[in-house]
């Protein structure tokens, strides 16, 4: 039984974006192998990408949660959700400053992405163990809006539904000076891969073996709706 599981979108293994973003982060979430990272003068790239590297290159659909009950049952529910969900085209992606973090976001609105995330949150929630007091405290509820606190209480995470934003994280929060150096380097490292045509044809179950351990892909679930 893994410590936590999550349902994410991640590019196909043969997608140049998977390859280049994994190299940028320094780890491939498919097999957990480390990769040499781009050197940036005056920047500790390993430190800047540490959190994103641990989670693996992805966009969150159902945030990480501890399982209540049986892993097999949770996987079956995820498979059923994927089976009734139709594939769709993903808009071109672009590197964006998201509250100080660099992340890939969609260039144009995509209602199908929102529907996918909303469906993932609700579909798997029966398998989510309630958060502990320590887990709730780590979300700093005193800094959240009322709606975010309501989501945290109901769904174990404050950034779902109306608070959810598609993003594929590339860095920790940066200072303005760091961003001025790192943004061009990240743009060069990813090249034209973010803007290439691609579809969301599957979703991924990621697992974390133990607290603090990196996440890896356990299974890809084809969208068949």
Q: Which pLDDT value is given to residue 177?
A: 97
The whole-chain average pLDDT of the chain stands at 97
Task: Name the β-bridge partners of 97.
Answer: 102
Digit-coded pLDDT (tens) for 169-204: 999 999 999 999 999 999 999 999 999 999 999 999
**CA geometry: angle 77, 81, 86, nearest 5 deg:** 165
Over residues 74-98, the pLDDT tens digits come to 999 999 999 999 999 999 999 999 9
pLDDT of residue 81: 98
Residue 178, phi then psi, degrees to nearest 5: -65, -45
Q: What is the pLDDT of residues 1-36, one digit of tens each?
A: 999 999 999 999 999 999 999 999 999 999 999 999
The pLDDT score that the predictor gives to residue 49 is 98
Q: What is the mean pLDDT of residues 121-143?
A: 96
Neighbouring-strand partners of residue 89? 199
Q: Domain extents for the chain?
A: 4-222
Residues 6+ apart with CB under 8 A from 66: 3, 4, 128, 129
Q: Retrieve residue 48's tokens.
A: 């800047």
Tell me what the mean pLDDT of segment 60-80 comes to.
Answer: 97
Stretch 48-57: mean pLDDT: 98
**What pLDDT sits at residue 211?**
95
Per DSSP, the three-state class of 190 is helix
Q: Is 60 exposed, middle or buried (0-12, 13-18, 19+ CB in 10 A)?
A: buried
pLDDT, residue 156, reads: 96
Say how many residues make up the chain: 225
Could you identify the residue written with the tokens 């200072």?
A: 175
Identify the helix (H) or strand (E) that includes residue 6. Answer: strand 4-9
Q: Which residue has the tokens 């007091």?
A: 133
Task: Evaluate if pTM is beyond 0.95.
Answer: yes
Query: What is the architecture of the domain spanning 4-222?
Result: Alpha-Beta Complex (3.90)
3-state secondary structure 71-120: HHHHHHHHHHHHHCCCCEEECCEEEEEECCEEEEEECCCCHHHHHHHHHH
DSSP 168: E
d(CA 170, CA 51): 9
CA proximity to 101, closest of 45, 196, 172:
172
């Amino acid at each position: 039984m893994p410590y936590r599981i999550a349902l994410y979108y991640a590019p196909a293994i043969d997608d140049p974006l998977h390859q280049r973003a994994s190299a940028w982060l320094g780890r491939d979430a498919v097999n957990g192998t480390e990769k040499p990272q781009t050197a940036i003068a005056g920047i500790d790239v390993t430190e800047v990408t540490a959190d994103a590297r641990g989670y693996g290159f992805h966009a969150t659909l159902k945030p990480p949660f501890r399982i209540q009950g049986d892993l097999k049952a949770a996987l079956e529910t995820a498979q059923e959700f994927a089976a009734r969900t139709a594939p769709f085209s993903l808009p071109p992606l672009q590197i964006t400053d998201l509250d100080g973090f660099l992340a890939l976001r969609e260039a144009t609105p995509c209602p199908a992405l929102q529907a996918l995330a909303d469906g993932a949150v609700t579909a798997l929630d029966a398998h989510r163990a309630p958060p502990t007091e320590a887990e709730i405290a780590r979300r700093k509820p005193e800094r959240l809006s009322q709606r975010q606190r309501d989501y945290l209480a109901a769904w174990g995470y404050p950034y779902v539904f109306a608070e959810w934003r598609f993003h594929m994280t590339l860095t920790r929060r940066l200072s303005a000076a760091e961003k001025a150096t790192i943004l061009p380097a990240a743009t060069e490292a990813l090249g034209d891969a973010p803007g290439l045509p691609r579809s969301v044809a599957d979703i991924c179950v990621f697992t974390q073996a133990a607290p603090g351990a990196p996440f890896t892909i356990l299974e890809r679930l084809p969208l068949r709706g």
